[in-house]
Amino acid sequence: MAFIKEESEDVKIEETFTVKQEDLQEQTDLIEENEESKEEEHHVKIEEKTHLQTDDILKRRDKNRFICTQCGKSFGRKGNLKTHMMIHTGEKPFTCTQCGKSFNRSSHLNEHMRIHTGENPFTCTQCGKSFSQSSHLNYHMKIHTGEKRFTCTQCGKSFRQSSSLTLHMMIHTGEKPFTCTQCWKSYSRSSHLYQHMRIHTGEKPFTCTQCGKSFNRSSDLHQHMTIHTGEKPFTCVQCGKSFNFSSTLYKHMKIHTGEKPFTCTQCGKSFNFSSTLYKHMKIHTGE
């Protein structure tokens, strides 16, 4: 009987221990669930706070954006918008004191002034050639690398810059978006229109330092300077004769090719020079 009683007490102790253990496990589970719940709530709060902060930043950014009323482009600074607006207004407050050309940015004027000063601070490490603008050096470097990433889909010609391809495409499309308001002549490049406008304004900003003669294009001045220097950079490949103007070489080449593009409307006789045709016409006019 004592053995049965002792065994019964052991069972009770074990049951009590098991119950306590189950209670403890249940309490532990409840604590863990509570902690997990708190942690989840904490993450939700952080996420909500982050979203609120992000929305607030975006609102502040939108509020601080300066929008162009003409084209809708936005800027982070009022000064940048003001500079951008000059594109629409055509305002160019920065003027070159040497040739009168105007710009909408002071940095563009500073770059332009290097044409007159002869300053070329950007030098090619491959050939030593110098440039007044870093963009010109970057473009030049592609000569050494041979890089021409932009290819015309019409004729397959490749270019180093996308802007060059865009201009080239106008040959195929016939597009000439830049029109003279004086005579309505159109051009594919704004620089060509700018040069053309000097015909109407009479502006000749490029002056020879030797004789004082002025020109409306820098290329014309450059060619004129060969008269003073004696330089004749254009050579005929047929006879080796050299000329100081490319136009003179072009005329000379007609001697070798036999080309006679100028025809008399009176008798049908053809000439290789317009000046020769002009002289010939005097026979018919009696001038």
User: How many domains is the chain built from?
Assistant: 2
Report pLDDT for 20: 45
Residue 27 pLDDT level (bands cut at 50, 70, 90): low
Residue 176 has pLDDT above 50, yes or no: yes
Residue 152 pLDDT level (bands cut at 50, 70, 90): very high
119, 147, 175 - which closes a domain? 147
Residues 70 and 57: their CA atoms lie apart, in Å, by: 26
For residue 268, give the amino acid letter.
G
In a domain, 97, yes or no: yes
What the block records as the tokens of 46 is 């952080």
What the block records as the tokens of 207 is 């002056």
Per DSSP bridges, beta strands 102-103 and 122-123 are unpaired
In a domain, 263, yes or no: yes
Report pLDDT for 59: 43
Report pLDDT for 183: 92
147, 176, 202 - which closes a domain? 147
In a domain, 129, yes or no: yes
123, 147, 171 - which closes a domain? 147
What the block records as the tokens of 223 is 């060619």
Are 178 and 189 contacting, i.e. CB atoms less than 8 angstroms apart?
A: yes
Following DSSP, what letter does each residue of 202-223 receive, concatenated?
----EE-TTT--EESSHHHHHH
Residue 211 has pLDDT above 90, yes or no: yes
Report pLDDT for 115: 82
In a domain, 265, yes or no: yes
Give me the CATH number covering residue 140.
3.30.160.60
In a domain, 286, yes or no: yes
Report pLDDT for 41: 53
In a domain, 164, yes or no: no
Structural domain that includes position 94: 79-147
Beta-carbon neighbour count of residue 192 at 10 Å?
14
Report pLDDT for 192: 86
pLDDT tens-digit profile of 54-113? 444 444 445 568 888 888 888 888 888 888 888 888 888 889 988 888 888 888 888 888
Q: What is the mean pLDDT of residues 138-151?
A: 84
Q: What is the mean pLDDT of residues 116-135?
A: 86
The three-class DSSP label of residue 37 is: helix
